[in-house]
Structure 1
Amino acid sequence: MTILSGLTFGGTGSPPSRRRRLAGISIGLVYLCFPVLEIVTGEVSGTRALWGGAGLAVFVACYVATVLSPADFGEPTRLTYWLLGVTTLLGVGLAAAFGGGWTTLPIYMTVVYSMALSPRLSVAGVTAMAVAVLLIGLLKEHDLGTTLVLVFQVVTLGVLFMGMRNTRMLVMRLRRAQEEVARLAASEERLRIARDLHDLLGHSLSLIVLKSELAGRLAEDGSERAVAEIRDIESVARQALVEVRDAVTGYRQRGLAGELDGARAALEGAGTKVTIRLAGTPLPGALEELLGWAVREGVTNVIRHARATRCEIEVTLDDRAATLEIVDDGRGADPYGPGNGLTGLTERVRAAGGTVSAAPRPPGFALRVVVPRG
């Protein structure tokens, strides 16, 4: 039941989807076999069996509806509270009315309280279910040892799933914080580029404007200096164009070292542990640029698709070739679909006489780029 309920409310890495919740429920409801067996075997018979079966069906429907009810960033809505109330009444009421295997129903409520409510409300709900199970066991004169085991299970499952919920919520908040950090970093980078372009073009464009006005007045007066001013304008404009191109080229081509630094920052920001190894002599300029691009493409796909906890990047250079390997421990499915940059990377590597291989490698996925040194 422990694993089951964890599936019911999703993992800790992301907000739980309804499909994952439903998958967990479909397996977890197997534990309802205890009250069902009491009806099937005749231990609960006649009118009591009809009422018990109907009540159990309504309980299951309310339980499923509660688990699948919408939530705002992990917090229950008003609908969830109403469903929790109805499901609690059904679970405790059926357990009190029939006893025996029906006493497992409050345990389901313990899991729901622990995963859906705030810590304070969860503690109150788990305590109430533990007291309810104890009182029902005493009133129905159940075996004291069995009753205490059920109470212990209520308490331990409540503590376990409250911890799971808190962990999931912390991870969700951390991911949102990482997204905000990435957004702020991108905004800061845009501001830096804007400042650089302003510094590069501000003086040149101002000078072009002044010289254009001067050339216009000189041309109106018929002065020969107008031609010289126009040539100065052309010279300043050409120089500004060169500076802008150099700046843009610097933004696009950071080299292998810059790409590795960026890869480390991006992966660590996504919660992935990174190991980078370099071996060999410094790379030639063209080869360094090509491998830098490969690092950027590989790391981008790891972040977007792999959901990895570890990633290893290794660059080696020997007398014959340079080799880049990016290995992660993620899902292992092929993340390289059309339009993700691998096609362009493969074309560039093949144009340099190299090879690219990308395939699952348990556990995870591996990208390998080999380019001849020549």
Structure 2
Amino acid sequence: MRRPVRLGAGAPQGSGVAFGALIILVVCSLALVALDVAASPLGKRTVVAGLTVLVLMPALMLGQYAPPPYRLPYRWRWGLLLVQAVLTYLPLLLFHYRWLSLLGFLAGAVLLTLPPGTSVPLALAVGASGPLLAATKLIDTDRSALGILLGTAITATTVFAVAHLALLAARLHNSREHAAHSAEHRERARMQQDLHDLVGSSLAAITVQGETALRGGSTTAGSGRERAALTEIVALARRLHDDVRSISRPDGGDLALSEELAHAQRVLTASGVEVRTVLPPRTEAAPAVLACLRFVLREAVGNVLQHSRATHCSITLSTDGTAVRLAIRNDGAEAAPPASGRHGTGLAGLGGRVLALGGEFTAATADGTFTVTATVPRTGAVVPSR
């Protein structure tokens, strides 16, 4: 029996350790800033305002850095990043050197939130802004420009390293869960095939032999009871054979495809990937088509977890009455998996399964996204091998 799985349940141990380290780093660093602000000769209202901001900053920062399953949606982290930038630069002009350490936390948040191509230049700009503000006398400090830059770099890299390792731990955890899910389905398919081949064939043989005996049996009164018992045995064998064929179907129907979609959405979300799913009310297709689409979805999600640093993934299932189309798109194109020559794994294996049913399969990179698309006729016409 399948156990229900809750989102966020069974979080990897590494994520909890990393999150605890982040909490200690943020709280202790802000406590040092708070002590400097409280000891400053500024006005009472100014000091109170600064301490109030410092009380709000831990929640703001941890919302940015938290690993899965505590990770906020991407749009929320963008908003928090803008608020953090405002609460870093505006008080900096008032509290001067006391606020400089918060530049490192802002640079770390930039590295964690933005895509790699954009985050590195912006993080460098944040790091350079401290020495620039000191050089232009907008902030009052006796620290050297190099000292400010090194302090910002140390804080930013520490925050990024701990949070990123927690994210990798979560992805590894969910990648293993996905691999176990795939292995479970393969074992179930093997058992279904064995059930069909062994038990089904035996029941079919019993049915045939029983019907043969009935056709050649005598009609005496003494054999009437035997004939009735034999008739009941044949009916039972036929009914069991139908049940075995029903259980050992290789597809599992539309419900199984829905379960696969729900599993994909759960493991991607728990790995810090924002998922958008577009589905029709119901998908009517041949059992072999649904089985093929399940396999494509399973392998594509495994590639996202194992081979990319994607932050967004969209899963679209649609039908036009003649064919069913499944598209999985993610923004981790820079780490798209290479095609594998092994049957049943990699892009080559996916393409072979789809083409065997008369469909079309594509895996392409465009505009920074990697898209896997499978379009299969609803009837699943098998293409003869050449």
- TM-score w.r.t. length of structure 2: 0.46
> Which protein, 1 or 2, shows the higher relative CO under an 8 Å CA cutoff with sep ≥ 6?
2
**In terms of Rg, which structure is larger?**
1
> If each structure's helix is expressed as a fraction of its own residues, which one has the higher value?
1
- TM-score w.r.t. length of structure 1: 0.48
